[in-house]
């Protein structure tokens, strides 16, 4: 199998006032292991819908999505939840940290539903926090962390259970330029060093500049799927170099 995720002719429609609104239309997409892929487009273009479908949070109206060869449409709610816990990590623009938990406890949370010893959980948490440069902030609660540090904790939480895929929904939206660049560098480093697959939705040019591949959405349809190398070649060709 040469792809981690396959989106095959997927559409999503929502009922609204006795009619249906199409959020995604006939989307086809394959994601290979180790990719650093951006889904770009304006608000309402279908970015979050696509991520929610891949995350098994929602189901397609038509078409199918395969993760590691498993047709997610055939899974029960419990099986879909188990797949999310094992194979997918999440990074949200609002961090979604539990305020009364320390950084270490927030990172440990995804491991509590797995049958791991306390020693193994502690080891993985320490490893995850060290990988995002926050080993010395493990005992701090979110209110004592900066916005960038909170998002780093969120990244550590997303990778602690060793998923196949990290889904990040507008991860730099609430960060200033300097902090956003640090987060982008961190995710890129984890992608290179650990081989983690990242799929993120964004309209942030700072993040798009670092993506290896950009899928553009407009009005629920994929309008472009291009690697940055191809994009650069196209620009060079356009100016006659």
Check residue 1 and give its pLDDT.
Answer: 56
Query: pTM of this prediction?
Result: 0.88
Contacts 24+ apart (CB under 8 A), 77-82: 80/56, 81/56
Contact between residue 5 and residue 32 where contact means Cβ atoms under 8 Å apart:
no
Instruction: Quote the pLDDT of residue 199.
Output: 97
**CATH number reported for the structural domain that contains residue 130 in this entry:** 3.40.50.300
22 forms beta bridges with 13
**pLDDT score recorded for residue 19:** 84
Region 132-143 average pLDDT: 96
Q: What is the pLDDT of residue 230?
A: 45
**Band (163; pLDDT cuts 50, 70, 90):** very high
Containing structural domain, residue 104: 5-238
- C-beta separation of 6 from 66 below 8 A: yes
Averaged pLDDT, 14-34: 92
pLDDT tens by residue, 58-113: 999 999 999 999 999 999 999 999 999 899 999 988 889 999 999 999 999 999 98
> Each residue of 202-233: pLDDT tens digit?
988 888 988 999 999 999 999 999 997 544 44
Q: Where are the beta strands (DSSP E) in 74-177?
A: 88-92, 165-169
Quote the number of domains for the chain.
Answer: 1
Average pLDDT, the chain: 91
Classify the C-alpha dihedral 136-139-141-142 as positive or negative: positive
pLDDT at 29 over 80: yes
Quick check: 64 and 34 in contact, CB under 8 A?
A: no
The tokens describing 181, both together, are: 């660049």
Q: Please tell me which residue, 17 or 106, carries the higher pLDDT value.
A: 106
What pLDDT does residue 240 have? 43
CA 38 to chain centre: 9
Strand partners, 62: 11
- Say how far apart CA 21 and CA 12 lie, in whole Å: 9
Confidence of residue 166 (pLDDT cuts 50, 70, 90): very high
């Amino acid at each position: 199998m040469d792809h981690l995720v396959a989106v095959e002719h997927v559409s999503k429609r929502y009922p609204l006032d006795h009619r249906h609104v199409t959020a995604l239309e006939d989307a086809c997409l394959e994601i290979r292991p180790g990719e650093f892929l951006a889904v770009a487009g304006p608000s309402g273009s279908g970015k979050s819908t696509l991520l929610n479908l891949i995350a098994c949070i929602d189901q397609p109206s038509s078409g199918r999505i395969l993760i590691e060869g498993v047709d997610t449409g055939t899974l029960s709610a419990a099986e879909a939840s188990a797949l999310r816990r094992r194979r997918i990590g999440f990074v949200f623009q609002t961090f979604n940290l539990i305020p009364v938990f320390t950084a270490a406890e927030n990172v440990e949370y995804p491991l509590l539903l797995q049958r791991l010893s306390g020693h193994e959980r502690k080891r993985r948490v320490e490893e995850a926090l060290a990988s995002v440069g926050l080993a010395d902030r493990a005992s701090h609660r979110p209110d004592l962390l900066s916005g960038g540090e909170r998002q780093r904790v969120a990244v550590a939480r997303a990778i602690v259970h060793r998923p196949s895929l990290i889904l990040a929904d507008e991860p730099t939206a609430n960060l200033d330029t300097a902090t956003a660049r640090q987060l982008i560098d961190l995710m890129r480093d984890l992608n290179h060093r650990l081989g983690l697959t990242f799929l993120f939705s964004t309209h942030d040019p700072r993040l798009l500049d670092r993506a290896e591949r950009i899928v553009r959405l407009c009005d629920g349809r994929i309008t472009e799927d291009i690697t940055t190398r191809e994009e650069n070649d196209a620009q060079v060709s356009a100016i006659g170099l």
